[in-house]
């Protein structure tokens, strides 16, 4: 029992190689990182109050790089959703203006022929 000792850092992965270990608690410390795979031999209460611990039986560990990639994908989707309609509007605005100018030139081309 190693609870309430203000231990810090990760749990050593070698702990899983102690087959005769029947009681184990590191609750109420300041441990971080993944919990070694004890094959669910020890419950959540044995690791509680260690804000930095993750993995079974605690909450899943989150890879910071995966988090950045996920946020990038969300940002790209939001950006596309916002800028696609804006791009379509600008495209319509520019090309409808050109088309109107071409129609005006054809329609008023007789003005240039009168002066000849």
Tell whether 114 is covered by a domain. no
Residues 2-53 have pLDDT tens digits of 888 888 999 988 888 888 888 889 999 999 999 988 766 788 899 999 988 9
Q: Which of 39-48, 85-94, 105-114 has the lowest mean pLDDT?
A: 105-114
pLDDT at 87 over 90: no
Question: Which residue carries 């079974």 as its tokens?
Answer: 56
Can you spell out the DSSP letters for 38-77?
Answer: -TT-S-GGGT-S-TEEESTTSSPP--HHHHHHHHHHHHHH
Q: Do 34 and 71 belong to one domain?
A: no
**pLDDT recorded at residue 108:** 59
Pairwise CA distance, residues 19 & 40, whole Å: 13
Tell whether 115 is covered by a domain. no
Residue 38's domain spans which residues?
8-54
Tell whether 49 is covered by a domain. yes
Q: CA angle at residue 87 from 82 to 91, to 5 degrees?
A: 160
């Amino acid at each position: 029992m190693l609870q309430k000792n203000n231990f810090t850092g990760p749990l050593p992965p070698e702990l899983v190689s102690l087959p005769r270990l029947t009681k184990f608690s590191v609750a109420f410390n300041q441990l971080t990182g993944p919990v070694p795979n004890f094959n669910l031999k020890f419950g959540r209460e044995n690791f509680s109050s260690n804000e930095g611990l993750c993995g079974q039986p605690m909450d899943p560990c989150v890879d910071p790089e995966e988090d950045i990639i996920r946020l990038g994908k969300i940002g790209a989707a939001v950006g596309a959703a916002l800028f696609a309609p804006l791009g379509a509007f600008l495209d319509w605005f520019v090309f409808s203006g050109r088309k109107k100018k071409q129609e005006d030139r054809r329609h008023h081309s007789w003005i240039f022929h009168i002066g000849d």
